[in-house]
Structure 1
């Protein structure tokens, strides 16, 4: 890839409280679904790099879990550790909040940001405002409470002001050659992404009935006879959670697998054969060894 002398490359952490739209923002910026979304808080658990390369810049966005300020468990501790580590390694931070929503929980997350890193406040979901006149006073109020370098109001879902956001980010990135090939969109493997697709459908279809402490293990991922064959296991903490996920006559689990398979086929460009099981593994979310085996840092 031939790049101009003033080409810029850098890492941009996307942080904020749970459920403010961080993963949606990442997906819309790189124009590809690589980070799962749902209405359930703490859907994102792992650090995921999303890569966008244009003629002037390579943006490496670092999507992180929502920083948990209320609940303590081995899983939450591991996810918070991902957030704090990610902030040490980036050139600029996108701090995402929801329009007209800012309180002590956001300030708590601000306090863990290193002093030397520029912060762009991304005020998301402006499309949902019924009274647009409230936005400017809100932005002024937030700017008086925390130290930020720029403020960009956006609607990630509807791609409102995302070009403006990219232009603002570009100013904070160093002149450097690209780190990834121009066609790469993430540092995560296809095997990792298909497991995340299953977890997304699990949260979307039964998220109100089970705790978020479920996980997915991809047991096999292989190509045979022009078909990608995927075998995966959903881990739950209690037998009653297993019954809820499977559903009456297995219908709920079939629905989860069917919707996940469609996303997998879009990602892979191949026909997918998918089998999903549910397994009870009590206490997994507080087990350091299990969390390490599942890929939590």
Structure 2
């Protein structure tokens, strides 16, 4: 569990190599030498902490005795869901002002739910970053995930949520909401939701987003038809009609089939959890249904620049419910520090390697101890094939050096502590490094000559 003793703070977010590691809107910790922020942690069956440090115990005592005013104010649990690779994790990082979610350009970087929180004033927002919705074939044969969390966690996040944020990537082909997301929305229609159009920094003509929103919202937001307002700009504005509100017509077929056969199929999948429905059943039922008419608001954001993030946070604070805070102020995430470290390494492996290679690597921590003021972390990347180890190391070790540098930078900013993460590479149980491959290559070259 990561806890910030100094209130809210900022950190860098892991972004693609073509962009700096610290995006706009999130600053680095200049010193990296703050007091360690790691607390002893034991999980119960629900993954909630049951062992408290003195500050956490005081919080709990305050709730029980009714002396903790912060715990009696407003709280909201939000599920962040969407199709794979739409930017849910980087969006969550911006919302909580800390890079707790691992990020890469590849899909399936997030393979299980991660809870992150931020408390501003008397309101606590709890976000659940979920994996992108995928089918069982993709989970088993592409990601090589033998468990069920990759399939079930998006549904679990929605089941426990007070509010839903549906994240959409406008750069992807197709003007429709993913059929698995549509099933989640229809089966949880009692939960209020908002549509979030992410990655707007990559959109050249933002006016095109209005048509996309019209389709994804079925022509209405908050129960009211979407309207546009004409504005006069310069002399050319006089050629247009005066200021007026114009309804944006909805001509797309968004009702789907209404015959008895379609209704039976719809009722059948609505009786099941999303992950229990066959992939092609939900795809067929929602084939002609492109949007959701019950969004209460729409936001345009950039998880890279931070544009629009404050508006989302303010809206969530305004709709937060009057109930006890679930976590003490300053709590950032309930994930263990070790899990955050492993997630950061896996994300960097996905960033630097082909997906089919990265998915087949096993990462584990072999040492975690503090020496003086420095946290020493030793990890291993275990490869089943020697050629995979060569890819992890890279030419003259450039790949593993880049991975190690990025992981150290991310973890130091997140933990706000001096630390060193060492990444070892093993192939078939044997430790390897780039000098071994260089020596072998030299010997082979000499034999040929």
Band the TM-score falls in, shorter-chain normalisation? 0.7 to 0.9
Q: 1:161 to 1:248 in 2, by over 3 A?
A: closer
Alignment of 1:180-195 (within 5 A): 180-195=327-342
Q: Aligned-pair distance for 1:86?
A: 1.4
Instruction: For 1:142 and 1:192, locate their aligned partners in 2 and report how far apart those are by CA, in whole Å.
Output: 36
User: Using the alignment, how far apart are the partners of 1:98 and 1:208 within structure 2?
Assistant: 21
- The correspondence for 1:88, drawn from 142, 159, 163, is 159
Within the candidate set 284, 293, 305, 1:158 is matched to 305
Tell me the CA shift for residue 205 of structure 1: 2.1
User: Which of 1 and 2 has greater Rg?
Assistant: 2
Q: Does 1:107 align with 2:179?
A: yes
Comparing 22-31 with 252-261, which one deviates more in the overlay? 252-261
SS at match of 1:75: coil
Q: 1:105 to 1:34 in 2, by over 3 A?
A: same
Q: Using the alignment, how far apart are the partners of 1:52 and 1:125 within structure 2? A: 23
Q: What does the per-residue CA deviation read over 1:92-113, in whole Å, with 9 as the maximum and x for residues that have no partner?
A: 1111001264556613322134
Q: Which runs of 5+ in 1 are unaligned?
A: 282-297
Q: What is the match of residue 289 of structure 1?
A: none
Q: Distance in 1 between matches of 2:71 and 2:411?
A: 38
Q: What is the aligned partner in structure 2 of residue 67 from structure 1? A: 133
Corresponding residue number in structure 1 for 2:389: 242
Q: CA deviation at 1:258?
A: 2.4
* Residues 153/274 of structure 1: CA separation in 2 closer, same or farther (3 Å cut): closer
Give the corresponding residue for 2:168. 97
**Equivalent in the alignment of 2:207:** 133
State the distance in 2 between where 1:104 and 1:152 align: 17
Structure 1: distance between partners of 2:319 and 2:418: 42
User: How far did 1:156 drift?
Assistant: 2.0
Distance 2:410 2:348 in 1: 10
Structure 2 counterpart SS, 1:270: coil
CA displacement at 1:268 relative to structure 2: 2.6
Q: Compare 270-279 and 26-35 and name the one that shifted more.
A: 270-279
Question: How has the CA–CA distance of structure 1 residues 57 and 80 changed in structure 2, closer, same or farther, with 3 Å as cutoff?
Answer: same
Query: Of 362, 366, 370, which aligns to 1:219?
Result: 366
- Of 48, 53, 60, which aligns to 2:119? 53
Q: What is the root-mean-square deviation of aligned Cα atoms in Å?
A: 2.5
Distance change in 2, residues 1:7/1:210 (3 Å): same
Q: Which piece of structure 1 moves more, 158-167 or 36-45?
A: 158-167
Tell me the distance in 2 between the aligned counterparts of 1:171 and 1:4. Answer: 16
TM-score (norm 1): 0.85
The CA distance in 2 between the partners of 1:71 and 1:132, in whole Å, is: 33
Distance 1:271 1:133 in 2: 46
The alpha carbon displacement at 1:6 in A equals 7.6
Q: What is the rounded CA distance, in whole Å, between the counterparts of 2:373 and 2:407 in structure 1?
A: 19
Tell me how many residue pairs correspond in the alignment. 282
Give how far 1:53 is off.
Answer: 0.6
1:29 aligns with 2:95: yes
- Measured at CA, do residues 176 and 230 of structure 1 come closer, stay the same or move farther in structure 2, by a change above 3 Å? same
How much does 1:12 deviate? 0.4
> Which residue, out of 184, 197, 212, partners 1:123?
197
Contact 2:350 2:358 in 1 (8 A): no
* 8 A Cα contact 1:12 1:61, kept in partner: yes
Counterparts of 2:138 and 2:128 in 1: how far apart (Å)? Answer: 23
Contact persistence 2:175–2:216 (CA under 8 A): no
* Farther off after superposition, 88-97 or 123-132: 123-132
Contact 2:194 2:296 in 1 (8 A): yes
Supply the distance in 2 between the matched residues of 1:47 and 1:162 (Cα, whole angstroms).
Answer: 21
Normalised by the size of structure 2, how large is the TM-score?
0.58
Q: Tell me how far apart the structure 2 counterparts of residues 15 and 237 of structure 1 sit (CA, whole Å).
A: 33
8 Å CA contact 1:209–1:244 kept in 2: the answer is: no
**Contact persistence 1:40–1:207 (CA under 8 A):** no
Deviation at 1:123, TM superposition (A): 0.8
